[in-house]
Chain A
Amino acid sequence: MPVRRLLIMVIVAALLGVTGSARATVNDAALFINQLGNQAITALRATDLTLSQREAKFRSLLSQGFDLRFIGRFVLGRYWRRATPEQQNDYIALYGEFLLQTYASRLGGYSGETMTVTGARQASEKDIVVSTTLDRPGGLDINADWRVRVIEGRYRIIDVAVEGISMAFTQRSDFAAVIKRDGIEGLLTILRARTTKISATASIN
């Protein structure tokens, strides 16, 4: 009997151990966001680089933190399976570019910007939401909530809500409307248009 009991305890402990490491914990998720945020802010503060170089660094940090493929597939929803493999490839590449560009330019670049983790909570079985405030001079502070999940053993961001509005859900409904009207090619055309825009310049033409 004691042997059997011990065996059960070992199995239970092992199972807990496995599920424990496969799921995000509130503390580790908060730590992950805090670390990523601090790295990003350090990259953005490098005064020897131009703004576009700093934003490129920031983008590369974001691309490591975000699971772009996971988010991209979620955002496309049921249309993912209807896309051809070529369209899926183009979409993932364009969407990743679009997302990084959007967030690198919207979240970063402000002088004196700091990020504070204000809380973290279990949002669903697998997900933790880490709340942050990006403090900026001039009253342009924003609140961003990062949805974090462990995917393939790593903490990854799978959604951001800026001022309470989820990026993934907003884009999912926007994209569905575009696809209904112009098909998947129509969506790719729009993403191509959004990612080719030229940024501020000192050049005279």
Chain B
Amino acid sequence: MSLFGNRRRKATKKRQTRSGAAPLLGLLAVMAISLAASPLRAGFEEGWEAYQRGDFMTAVSEWKQLAMAGDARAQFNLGVLFDQGKGVPLNQITAVHWWRKAAEGGFASAQHNLANSLIAGDGVAQDYGAAIDWLKQASNLGLSRSKYTLGKMYAYGLGVEADKTQSMRWIVEAAEAGNLAAQYNAAKMYRDGDGVAQNYTEAVKWYRLAANAGYSKAQAGLAKRYAAGEGVEKNLVQALMWTTLAANQGLGRAITTREDLLTTMSVDDIAAADGLVKDWTAPAD
């Protein structure tokens, strides 16, 4: 608190100086900006270091000053601390307050979180229409999570008219940006011809990308395509390998598929699949 008081006094001093002589105005303005900018940056870093070491109270006090001075990234992070109750008592209304400020400042992650608060009705009245507006803004700024959520909103007709083509468009965009849930959903939509012409080859392409990254539902889906020879040459060893990887993550339907495959496969093929499972390594986070 006292720090904040000091900074406010400094700012007042600066304004008094700037109202001085004309020729020096430009130079003084540059100095004032650099003076004002450096403590802002330092405050953010101090907050970030405190956050990383689990000193959330310091993170709150550092970021709060910046947030009040209009720094969108600090506003966003402060919102996260209030949403999770870190260093402050949990308060979703305050979280929404800070996310809204950062969202209005064009901070995409804040637009995304605000949209999701509006969808869940957490800290704000549920409003799908407003959520759609924010998701569109964040999507246009390139945020793949927002693109995926927007795709789902179009699929279910929440806050917008249900539109399978729009849904597919946003989900594929998110998938192309590497969003695993979107890749899995794109695979399902190609598999079922949902919002797009049915195409098993495309389905396998998206299943494989998410499966390689360790996404269990995509691993199970890829296993089924291998077992049925849909969009890929039939290969029971590959099918057993992928369904086992998904089953090892606790996915119920993969466990069933694995049991079914085990009853039809030769001992050699089962051993080959087990070898592949042992060799497979999950990608680093």
Contacts and interface: CB of A to CB of B under 8 A. Distances in A.
Interface of A: 44, 47, 50-51, 53, 56, 89, 93, 105-106, 109-113, 137-138, 140, 185, 189-190, 192-194, 196-205
A93 B149 CA distance: 17
A196 B145 contact: yes
A137 B119 CA distance: 35
Nearest to A199: B80
A200 B107 contact: no
Interface in B87-131: 87, 90, 107-109, 112-113, 116-117, 119-122
Contact of B48 (A106, A198, A202): A202
B252 interface: yes
Contact of B84 (A106, A190, A193): A106
Contact of B109 (A51, A89, A106, A205): A205
B113 A201 contact: no
Interface stretch (B7-15, B52-60, B233-241, B271-279): B52-60
A204 to B, nearest CB: 6
Contact of B90 (A50, A106, A111, A193): A106
B120 A110 contact: no
A138 B149 CA distance: 38
A198 B84 contact: no
Nearest to A49: B52
Contact of A196 (B57, B149, B285): B149
Given A106-B90, A189-B119, A190-B121, A200 B112 contact: no
Interface residues of B, number: 42
Nearest to B128: A189
Given A198-B113, A201-B73, A105 B122 contact: no
A73 to B, nearest CB: 13
A106 B90 CA distance: 9
B62 interface: no
Given A193-B116, A194-B116, A205-B108, A56 B285 contact: yes
A164 to B, nearest CB: 16
Contacts of A204: 73
A137 B53 CA distance: 13
A51 B51 contact: yes
Contacts of A200: 51, 76-77, 80-81
13 contacts: A106-B84, A109-B86, A111-B55, A189-B158, A190-B120, A194-B116, A197-B83, A197-B112, A198-B145, A199-B84, A201-B73, A203-B109, A205-B107
Interface in B113-171: 113, 116-117, 119-122, 141, 145, 148-149, 152, 156, 158
B193 interface: no
B267 to A, nearest CB: 29
Nearest to B90: A106
A51 B54 CA distance: 7
Contacts of B116: 193-194, 196-197
A185 B156 contact: yes
